[in-house]
Structure 1
Amino acid sequence: MQTLLLDSDDVRANAPLPAVIDAVEAAFGADERGDTQMPAKSYIDLPQYNGDFRSMPAYLSVDADAPEAAASEDWDAAGIKWINVHTDNSERGLPTVLGTMIYSDPETAFPLAIMDGRELTQLRTGAAAAVATDHLAIAEATSLGLVGAGVQSYTQLEAISTVRPIEEAVVADQRPDPVADFIAHFEDRFDVRAGEISDAAACDVLSTVTPVESPIVDRADVGNHTHINAIGADAAGKHELSDQILLDAKLVIDDYEQTTHSGEINVPYSAGTLTDSDIYGALGEIVVGDKAGREAADGITVFDSTGLAIQDVAAARVVYTEATEADNGTAFDLLGLGDVEASLR
């Protein structure tokens, strides 16, 4: 019985974005139907190292008959991601965010795969933004603005361009080198250019992917029908968008507990500036059809994305399935069971 070891290159090579997007959408649907188990994200704070650890376990079961499932058969999956944010790592030549995903067989608990969680996080976060964009952006959206030119900006453009015919991308970042790298990476596929935050915010779709704790996108900058994916806030105190944007928008969240604690809305929500009545609903409600996505009368829409463990598990299933079929990765006997065989999914 072998466990599959998948490094970052393996994860990327075995994660076709359309399949990951379908899986993440199915996860939102399963969660709304009550077919998931997802304990609250737990934190270990290490201020002495300017960092923290986060554990994210989940189980989900997908019904192939669900309209959003994009599956020919029922499936379930389980796993846990161990991830961190250590802000001083850049000075050590290490990524700020690292992570490890353990993907397990729900029936036997056998560890089917251990894979790079950092690459997986980028993929599933981009996929979640694509799901939200598909439901909330105008159908004819052709321009994407990006505030922040870090690693997540790449997957935002790659994923969102699979659900909308994106032709133009505008990236805003105070650091010239990451902007230049971003432009060089995409210039053969898109009309991509550097711009100010106001230029990015005027696009049909905007994704904000920064760690700031004071809003950097003003209400006046945002287009009349812009859809915003607020990605950067993942801890209490982080806040990228002005309160007025959130108050004026059709506001959609991924998970109530996480967004009110550590999502884009956490600061104005804690202050009482924004209340439950200002939240339109959860993305899962839109996915299953209980609430409408974009409507003709809608102006600005906002998706507050904190990242859910069910997204990691759904994406990990895609990676494991693809890698197994392609005979990719490195198989090893993690548990020392030798030639013992079992029926594993």
Structure 2
Amino acid sequence: MQTLLLGPDDVADYADLPAVIDAVSAAFAADARGDTIMPAKSYIDLPEYNGDFRSMPAYVHAGEWDAAAVKWVNVHPDNPTDHDLPTVLGTLIYSDPETAFPLSVMDGTVLTRLRTGAAAAVATDHLAVPDADSLGLVGAGTQSYTQLEAIATVRDIETVVIADRDPEKQQAFVDHFSDRFEVRAGSIAEAAGCDVLSTITPVESPIVERSWLGDRTHVNAIGADAAGKHEHDDQTLLDAKLVIDDYEQCTHSGEINVPWSAGVLSDADLYGELGPIVAGDLDGRTPEDGLTVFDSTGLAIQDVAAAHVAYEGARAAGAGTDFELVGTDRT
């Protein structure tokens, strides 16, 4: 039996985004049912290299399928300028939970991009107003493209405002999507006034003011993924129906981590986790709701779900490269 090697192009080709969104939704529901095992994300901080490693293992039983995986991923902000490498690099091992056989070793960087966009789409589907047709994006990096692609699968997005401090990145985004959407470069305040707002920046001081947000805006707070990161005004978090992906991760390293540590936010300010909403155990948006916020830190169960789609799609297509990873010693 051989292991399937999937590079970034393979993952991009066979992890169909709508299928990934469905699988990630199923993983959130499985988590709410108690059908997942997900140890806490572990960090190896490397201040001498201005970076860190993170290990993310999980098992998911999502009804028709079950799978296990572990992702080894980093964040090294100096990589693009100093080493001509991406800030985030990831490798994932996808295993058969019955035998522990490593079914696949695959690129985790594209996979991370897809599952992050998928989680925002799932949250948007449950928390944004049904007639949402405008999307604001703060940060014009790679994830902004996936945010638009994913969110446009759950809402009929017509207008897009992209905000970034780099005009060239803004224009590249506009040029990429101009034939599909009414898309323009704008300020953070203009982006924040849209029906849906996704923020994808690494800042440690809030850049989105409460007063800029629309009365019914849904916010996907994506950028905060480590202690000290913080994109949004504390008042926004206090005013919103505040939904998180995971209590331990969000209080440690999500958008809420800074005001949480300062005692500004407490359990009483949290509406709940996304999983029970997806499972139907907790209401999503109701007619009485105004501002909603989803604090997304990225969960290992999302990686398992996306890896499942990539592996099954590649196997069905006969894609990827088979190789012998496990020896024949059966002791």
TM-score by length of 2: 0.98
Q: Does 1:180 align with 2:171?
A: yes
CA deviation digits over 1:178-215, x for unaligned, max 9?
11111111111111110000010000000000000000
- Structure 1 gaps, min length 5: 64-73, 341-345
- Superposition deviation, residue 335 in structure 1: 2.1
Q: Does 1:46 align with 2:46?
A: yes
Distance 2:313 2:208 in 1: 39
Structure 1 outlier segments of 4+, above 3 Å: none
Distance 2:89 2:171 in 1: 24
Indicate the residue corresponding to 1:310 in structure 2: 301
Equivalent of residue 76 in structure 1, options 44, 48, 66? 66
Distance 2:161 2:250 in 1: 27
Quick one: which amino acid aligns to residue 180 of structure 2?
A: R
CA deviation digits over 1:234-257, x for unaligned, max 9?
000000000000000000000000
- Superposition deviation, residue 45 in structure 1: 0.6
CA deviation digits over 1:4-49, x for unaligned, max 9?
1111111010011111011001100111111111000001111111
Indicate the residue corresponding to 2:3 in structure 1: 3
Indicate the residue corresponding to 1:70 in structure 2: none
- Structure 2 gaps, min length 5: none
CA deviation digits over 1:259-283, x for unaligned, max 9?
0000000000110111110000110
Indicate the residue corresponding to 2:78 in structure 1: 88
Distance 2:2 2:250 in 1: 38
Match runs of 1:212-291 below 5 Å: 212-291=203-282
Quick one: which amino acid aligns to residue 225 of structure 1?
A: R
TM-score by length of 1: 0.94
Indicate the residue corresponding to 1:328 in structure 2: 319
Quick one: which amino acid aligns to residue 89 of structure 2?
A: L
Distance 2:267 2:166 in 1: 36
Distance 1:186 1:8 in 2: 22
Distance 1:336 1:77 in 2: 22
| Greater alpha carbon shift after TM alignment, 327-336 vs 247-256 | 327-336
CA deviation digits over 1:89-109, x for unaligned, max 9?
011211000000110111111
Indicate the residue corresponding to 2:92 in structure 1: 101
Indicate the residue corresponding to 1:68 in structure 2: none
Query: Counterpart of 2:203 in 1: which secondary structure?
Result: coil
CA deviation digits over 1:201-234, x for unaligned, max 9?
0000000000000000000100000000000000
Equivalent of residue 144 in structure 1, options 135, 143, 154? 135
Query: Counterpart of 1:53 in 2: which secondary structure?
Result: strand
Distance 1:173 1:83 in 2: 25
Query: Counterpart of 1:286 in 2: which secondary structure?
Result: helix
Distance 1:3 1:250 in 2: 44
Indicate the residue corresponding to 1:15 in structure 2: 15
Quick one: which amino acid aligns to residue 244 of structure 1?
A: Q
- Superposition deviation, residue 337 in structure 1: 4.3
Quick one: which amino acid aligns to residue 4 of structure 2?
A: L
Distance 1:82 1:186 in 2: 32
